[in-house]
Structure 1
Amino acid sequence: MKCPFCSASETTVLDTRINEDGDIVRRRRRCLACDKRFTTYERAEIRLPQVVKKNGSRVDYSRDKLAASLWLSLRKRPVTTEAVDAAIARIEEKLLALGERELPSEKIGEMVMRELKKLDKVAYVRFASVYRNFEDVDEFSELIREVSGPRA
């Protein structure tokens, strides 16, 4: 850590404390060159990728947009807020695990469809019908058959 007073690179840590939430580390440091003291703070930087839309434009990832699209599909369906929050968390974990700086919107849409399929099949069909932009009834019927599974 460089000293903010003299720019020397040799400093020593005098004290380390973690805040109440456990997400920020505060360190008191002393410069070995000029003997001045200063405080630094450390926190995890979590960067979700930018979303590349179908038209090529790029937008920042938005948890609110993701939640809104899930809730729109789940409208009047018996799914708890906790289940939706868990689905969003799983999607975000997958996005972070990919380690990409940019991600096509189609990839996120596929993740949403997988989560909706687990949560509620009607919501899955609602989302898929808009997301996949079906051209005819046969495509829609195929999706219904896929969700319904084999008939006995």
Structure 2
Amino acid sequence: MRHGVLASPLGELTLARDERGLVGVWYPDHRGGAPADLGARDDAAFGDVAAQLAEYFAGERTAFDLPLAPRGDAFETRVWAALREIPYGTTRSYGELARDVGGPGYAQAVGAANGRNPLSVVVPCHRVVGADGTLTGYAGGLWRKRFLLSLEEPDADAAGRLF
């Protein structure tokens, strides 16, 4: 495993990858934080990730095309895969996502798995909101969630739909 650090509009991002793909993208104050041992630092090893993130932040990319290798249990992996199916510029509620991965009674489990998503921005957990559309929980802080949603759907922010 190796890691790198990348400047972004949301602060420095710590990136990690192994031989299978990208393992994590963490904010400096990420709730739960990055694992302690991320291997040697090699910023140059993340040129592909840096390029795609730059395109995303410039509004030129709506989906990421990177090999991903997040570490989680079977349920978390299923939730993270479902997150990748939420289209750019849209949101889903925790309940809607729960129905997609197992049933309406899974909303809390989905929320927990969403909160443990190690691939911030790339796996768009920021697109999950409360049932009434409110911005709830985000490991990088609600200000970052609002920023990402505003980037993806500027009209929603202007119309006051981003609480």
**TM-score normalized with structure 1 length:** 0.26
Looking at secondary structure, tell me which structure has more strand per residue.
1
Which structure has more RCO (C-alpha within 8 Å, separation ≥ 6)? 2
Looking at secondary structure, tell me which structure has more helix per residue.
1
**TM-score normalized with structure 2 length:** 0.25
Which protein shows a greater Rg?
A: 1
